Amino acid sequence: MDGFLGAAYALHHVAALVSLSERQDLGRAVGDAGGTWFATVDGKGRGSAKSLTGEEVAVTDRRFAPTLFLYDNYPGGIGLTAPLYDLRKELITRTRDLVSACGCKLGCPACVGPILASDEVRGYSPKQASLTVLQLLDSAD
């Protein structure tokens, strides 16, 4: 989950740059392809899954189809997402380049988003998890 949330964070920033828009013009979400839940980052920096009604849910099915959504953040849309979909390969490549080139070791707000102090202590790398997800996205399609 951390890999998807980190990849979404980085893709969101690159998508705003590529589409010449503000970051808040686009929304992002990670969820199941079936639309039964989505993940957000809570105030403590950890991803949690919620139902469509906003209730916290436990994701117990390891076979879920993780899906990363970038969407137009305006009701009815202002035409940002169709061009981004057409540029998805470039978007993923540029995002992989951004994360790979970042000078941090485990992840930071300049690439995959803030990481927890506990991740630093145990050497867990949200950055590497995000790069793995981006690599899988790059090889798909």
- Quote the tokens at residue 52: 């469509």
Nearest approach, Cβ of residue 117 and Zn ion (Å): 15
Asked if 33 contacts 4 with a C-beta cutoff of 8 angstroms, the reply is no
Nearest approach, Cβ of residue 32 and Zn ion (Å): 28
**Contact positions with Zn ion (CB under 5 A) in 63-122:** 102, 104, 108, 110-111
Asked if 79 contacts 86 with a C-beta cutoff of 8 angstroms, the reply is no
Nearest approach, Cβ of residue 111 and Zn ion (Å): 3
Rounded CA gap, 82 and 79, in Å?
6
The count of chain residues that interact with Zn ion, using the rule CB under 5 A, is 5
Position 59 contacts Zn ion (CB under 5 A): no
Rounded CA gap, 136 and 79, in Å?
27
Q: Where does this chain bind Zn ion (CB under 5 A)?
A: 102, 104, 108, 110-111
